[in-house]
Structure formats: C-alpha cells, structure tokens
Amino acid sequence: MPSRAQVLQVLETLAIGAAGGALFYWAELPGGLITGAMIAVASVGMAGRPLGLPQPMAHAILMTLGLSLGAMVSPQLIKNLSAYPMTIALLALATACSTLVSSLYLQRIHGWDRTSALLAGSPGALSQIVMLASERKADVPGIAVVQIMRVIILTAGVPLFLTATGMMAHGPLPSRGIAATPLALAELAAVGVAAALLLRLVNFPASWMFGAMLGSAVLHGAGWVDGTLPQWAYVAALTGIGTLIGARFSKIRTRTIVSHIGAALGSFAVAMTISACFVAAIAFTMPVRIGDVVVAFSPGAMDAMMALALTLHVDPVFVGAHHLARFIFVSLVTPGIIHLFGKGPDDLDD
C-alpha cells in the first residue's frame, strides 16, 4: 500500500496539472488542457516540489486516451490509408536525416561525443534511448534534457503554430458525438485491456495506449459499439497526458537543464528545420492536409502528439500511424547506428 506521503504527492501532482490545464483552457490557448498541465507541473517540480504519478495511473490515462482515439475511427479516415506508405517512407528518411545532422551539430558546436550526440539527436523512443545511453556510458543527463526539452517545446508550440498560421481552427474542444452507454463503456474497457495485454506480450511500443485504441477502433469500425467516452473522461485524459510529461521533466535538476539548454535548443532548431523541409515537400506534392502532416512529422512524444490530434481537429489515424512508424524505426535502427558510429569498445572501457 502507498504511504500517506506518496498519496499526498499524487494528489498534489493531479491538482497542479488540473489547475494549469484549466487556466490555459480558460485563456483559450490552443491545446490548453495538455500544455497548461504540462507547464504547471514542470514548473512546480523544477522549483523543488517532488511530483509524479504511479505507473498504474499512467497506464489508465494512456488507455483512456487510446479509447478516445479509437472512437474517432470512421470509414472516411480509413480511406486515407492508401496515402500512408509514401509518407511513412519519407518520415523514415526525415528521421534519419534529422538524427545525423542534429548529432553533427552537437559534436561540432557543443563538443559532445559521437554516441551521446547520436542518441540525443534521435527523435522519440525516450525510454529505449536512455537505456541504450546507460549501456554505452553516454551522457544520460544531457540526452534526457535534449529529448524532453524537444517534447516540451513541441507539445506547447505545435498548437500555437497551427493556430497562428491558420492551418487549424481555434476554438473549444471538438464535438465527439454522444456518450456511450454504461454497457458499451464496459465492453470498450474490457476489449481495450485485453488488446493492451496482448500487445505487451509481444513488447509492442506504447501498448496501453495502442491496445486500447485498437480495441476501440475495431468495435466502432465494425458498428458493434456506438458513442464515445464521457466528456469528463476525455478531459481527464488530455490533462493527464500533460501532467505525465510535466512530471517527467520536473525530475531533472535545474542545474542540469541550464548546462544543456543551448544544446537542446540548437539541436531542436536543426531537427525542426529538416522536418519542415519534408513537410513542405509533402504538402506541395501530395493530397494531404498540411495540419495532419505537421503533427505527424513533429518529433515529439508519441502519446503527446496523439493527444494533440484529439484537440486540434487533425486525423488521429494518420498521426498515429506515422508516430508509431517513427517509434519502431528509431527503436530498431538506433542500436545499429550506435554500434557502427558510436564509441567503440576501447572508448567504453576508458
């Protein structure tokens, strides 16, 4: 059983995240529920308060998000599948270019070693990247700062950018239709948990979120279930994602953040410049909405980008397919790149 101090810490984290999300939503900032919770929790945590959420609660948040995303699947969205192979291939190329150029920037400008620079420049799959960094004796704090800073900036900046450029309408949360009946909600929860557990058995990435999304999508797509999650659950999932990201960032010491802020911002600028070139090329040559491509090609956290897909009126299936493809690409390719181009065994022994 958790101690009284742990329970109070969780309640404080949730209260701060809810307050930040409510404030940003009241101010009508794009993606306010996510970004407000994220910034509030990260700020308070960096000021010295120990914040965080337990793993079971994090899993529940991710499953709720997945069920909400799956409920948005429709025949119209499925028709867009024919455009995915080409854009996913371009995403893989953009990811490779972004990783290599960002790593060169960190090596030449900030004096990082090759292994640390390659891992910091790899967009996404944070847990796998940190584990690999520990095994290769790389600069784990620096890599964590660069990776999480990119997530923070993208989660807060993508909604503002899309709204400011007119690519996305600014307004309240999108209409999601009527709420499902209690029986339908029970079916969704049961199928979502079963699918998530099956995905975990095969080490599928983000299994709690994608398992719930898959189960919900099948039930809705087949017409076996009608309706979506209640609005309060939808709001809780969006606020919870922001709280999770903020709590992750708040665990890094302020001194560590300050010492690596230049590297984080510089490598972020390099990565975004490369991504922007690919987004522009796709927007001018393929029949896809530029807002969908911007969110799909943003090298942020998969769960955060999926949550933004809910709030920004973009195609969640398109965004989910691309972020999952990037996650798998990074997870499979990065170890090989580090083996070929990172520090050799002699360097590691030293």
How many other C-beta atoms can be found within 10 angstroms of the C-beta atom of residue 167?
Answer: 18
In the block, tokens 């181009």 appear at: 341
Question: pLDDT tens digits, residue range 280-299?
Answer: 999 888 888 888 899 889 88
> What would the mean pLDDT of 13-41 be, rounded to a whole number?
86
Across 268-289, b (16+ Cβ under 10 Å) vs e yields bebbbebbeebbeebbeeeebb
- Of 90, 115, 3, the closest CA to residue 50 belongs to 3
- Of 88, 104, 5, 90, the closest CA to residue 49 belongs to 5
Instruction: State the pLDDT confidence band at 30, using cuts at 50, 70 and 90.
Output: low
> What would the mean pLDDT of 126-138 be, rounded to a whole number?
70
Question: Residue 171 corresponds to which tokens in the numbers above?
Answer: 């307004």
> What would the mean pLDDT of 65-85 be, rounded to a whole number?
67
The reported pLDDT for the residue numbered 94 is 92
Question: Cβ(333)–Cβ(125) under 8 Å?
Answer: no
Angle at 207 between CA 38 and CA 53, to 5 degrees: 35
Query: Structure pTM?
Result: 0.69
Asked if residue 348 has pLDDT above 60, the reply is no
> What would the mean pLDDT of 235-254 be, rounded to a whole number?
82
Asked if residue 185 has pLDDT above 60, the reply is yes
Measured between alpha carbons, how far apart are the two ends of the chain, in Å?
44
Residue 139 is given by DSSP the state -
Residue 82 is given by DSSP the state G
- Of 123, 124, 117, the closest CA to residue 143 belongs to 117
In the block, tokens 């529940």 appear at: 60
Greater model confidence, 194 or 340: 194
Distance CA 168, CA 150 (A): 22
Within 8 A by CB and 6+ apart from 225, the residues are: 180, 184, 187, 188, 216, 219
Question: pLDDT tens digits, residue range 293-328?
Answer: 998 898 877 767 777 777 777 777 788 778 878 877
Question: Residue 226 corresponds to which tokens in the numbers above?
Answer: 């009608």
User: What does the mean pLDDT of the chain come to?
Assistant: 81
The reported pLDDT for the residue numbered 268 is 92
Element (H, E) at 190: helix 182-201
Lowest mean pLDDT among 66-70, 174-178, 280-284, 336-340: 174-178
Instruction: State the pLDDT confidence band at 269, using cuts at 50, 70 and 90.
Output: very high
The reported pLDDT for the residue numbered 107 is 93
Q: Across-strand partners of 228?
A: 179
The reported pLDDT for the residue numbered 345 is 39
Question: Residue 222 corresponds to which tokens in the numbers above?
Answer: 């087949």
Question: Residue 83 corresponds to which tokens in the numbers above?
Answer: 């455009």
Question: pLDDT tens digits, residue range 191-200?
Answer: 989 998 998 8
Question: Cβ(307)–Cβ(69) under 8 Å?
Answer: no
Phi and psi angles of residue 299, each rounded to the nearest 5 degrees, phi first: -80, 55
> What would the mean pLDDT of 140-146 be, rounded to a whole number?
84
> What would the mean pLDDT of 111-116 be, rounded to a whole number?
90
Distance CA 279, CA 290 (A): 8
